[in-house]
Structure 1
Amino acid sequence: MSRIGKRPVVLPQGVTANIDGQSIEVKGPKGVRSFAATDDVTLAVEDGAITVTPRGSSKRARQQWGMSRSMVENLVTGVTTGFKKELEIQGVGYRAQMQGKTLRLQLGYSHDVNFETPEGVTITAPKQTEIIIEGVDQQQVGQVAANIREWRAPEPYKGKGIRYKGERVFRKEGKKK
């Protein structure tokens, strides 16, 4: 039995869910999200909660059960509160600023890096050393954060670069004489 899959996903106030075959559409204050489940699970809305049940006892059905329930929960969380990733920039002369819908990064290269904000995601830079990425799709928010971090990942000697807030960077000791 999947411990995650057997728990129902409660729909908060102001959130509605419509099931059409194997696809579910969730509407909330932050937007509309949808997910198409595989044929191995059954989706149902009962008493203000969404339940996911497996069709049969095959290994694939049990695998899809917990995963589908997690995806449905992410839909509900996305349309109610949204998802957020915070990045920190460390290093002398490293900074970020928003110019319209473009994030302009100065990361020690001979040129500035311009990162266009994708549709469905909002990027803000409240400080020069802080970047906040918000959106309703958890996968998209995480991917945008990873793409920005990829421009200058933290290096192990001085710790310079872009890191997730709270991330611990393993530091190495430098050369000895």
Structure 2
Amino acid sequence: MSRVGKKPIALPGGVKLQIGEELQVEGPKGKLLVPIPKGITIENKNGTVEVTRESDKYAALHGLTRALASNAIVGVSSGWTRELDIVGIGYRCDVKGNLATFTLGYSHSIEFLLPQGVDMTVDKQTHIVLKSHDRQLVGQVAAKMRALRPPDPYKNKGVRYTGEVLRKKVGKSGAGGKGK
């Protein structure tokens, strides 16, 4: 039995569900749709949501569907947050509306257009906080921002997730070469 799939999901106040071809979750933060694959059923029982499957053939989809439904319910009720840090001299970020401008040591600044549904705030020009009701969307935006300048393994400069542990490589030592 799927350990993730058999856990019931508590339904917070203010969240409405519509179960049909897909699960429609609506709450104070927004509205999300979760696909329900064949062989999986979702039931709302007394303020909890339960996900069941027809047979063991659908075991992988069972846990996946339950996790997606849980992420949607948490997202529309309290939202998801992802934080990034910019490390490096002269590296910074500014945001105006839905356009973020990064200065990351290249010869030009990089403009990043935020998708609809993602809010971004910048503290001290080097700490970015992304908020959204969609966990997949906020994670994808954070990954794209990190990819603009991934942390350098020698100096650890670049864009990284807050709390990300990096292994620093040792650089060259000595004068090198054998000399003649």
Q: Determine if the TM-score, normalized by the shorter chain, exceeds 0.5.
A: yes
Select which of 137, 143, 148 maps to 1:146.
143
Partner of 1:109: 106
Q: Provide TM-score, normalisation by structure 2.
A: 0.94
Partner of 2:9: 9
| Structure 2 letter corresponding to 1:36 | P
Task: Tell me how far 1:174 sits from its aligned partner.
Answer: 1.3
Moved over 6 A (4+): none
| Structure 1 letter corresponding to 2:160 | R
Q: Within 1, Cα distance between the matches of 2:135 and 2:97?
A: 23
Gap regions ≥5 residues in structure 1: none
5 Å matches for 1:1-177? 1-20=1-20, 22-58=21-57, 61-177=58-174
- How many corresponding residue pairs? 174
Identity of aligned residues (%): 41
Q: Within 2, Cα distance between the matches of 1:135 and 1:100?
A: 15
Deviations 1:5-50 (A, max 9, x none): 1111110111111111x31111111011111110021111111111
Q: Within 2, Cα distance between the matches of 1:93 and 1:18?
A: 50
Q: Within 2, Cα distance between the matches of 1:143 and 1:6?
A: 28
| Structure 2 letter corresponding to 1:47 | N
Range with greater deviation from structure 2 (22-31 or 149-158): 22-31
Q: Within 2, Cα distance between the matches of 1:56 and 1:109?
A: 54
| Structure 1 letter corresponding to 2:17 | A
Q: Provide TM-score, normalisation by structure 1.
A: 0.95
Answer with 1 or 2: which has the greater Rg. Answer: 2
Q: Within 1, Cα distance between the matches of 2:159 and 2:95?
A: 16
**How large is the RMSD of aligned CA atoms in angstroms?**
0.9
